[in-house]
Amino acid sequence: MAADRRSSWLKGVLDLLVLSCLTGGESYGYEISKALAGAGLGDIKGGTLYPVLNRLEEAGYVVGEFRAAERGPGRRYYRLTGQGRTALAEQTGAWLDFHASVRNTLTTSLGTGES
């Protein structure tokens, strides 16, 4: 059950996390997946990640560009747009407020009083 719950939590914030991964510059799907795994979020499969990237591209938050490689298959690189940076800032604030509310509710119900 814990893995199922974690997966549903991740779905709610994955768009925001992917945008965050692109703040340092352009990247491609595998690099984004590795960055998220390195942050402790687990293995994000392509079947989950690429629909997110497509949705973000359709929203105008990222721009994707396919580049051929000298060896091996080409890659689609994504970069954050100005609109994406604005959305990231707004949504980050909203997420942090929500997180604080959840944390406060949970810690209060456990009697720890931490926030």
Token pair of 102 as six digits: 């959840």
At 53-91, the pLDDT tens digits run 999 999 999 999 999 988 888 999 999 999 999 999 999
Q: Which residues pair with 76 in a beta bridge?
A: 66
**pTM for this predicted structure:** 0.86
| 18/52 Cα distance (integer angstroms) | 8
pLDDT tens figures, 6-59: 888 888 899 999 999 999 999 999 999 999 999 999 999 999 999 999 999 999
Cβ count near 76 (within 10 Å): 13
The amino acid occupying position 86 is: T
How many Å is the Cα radius of gyration of the chain?
17
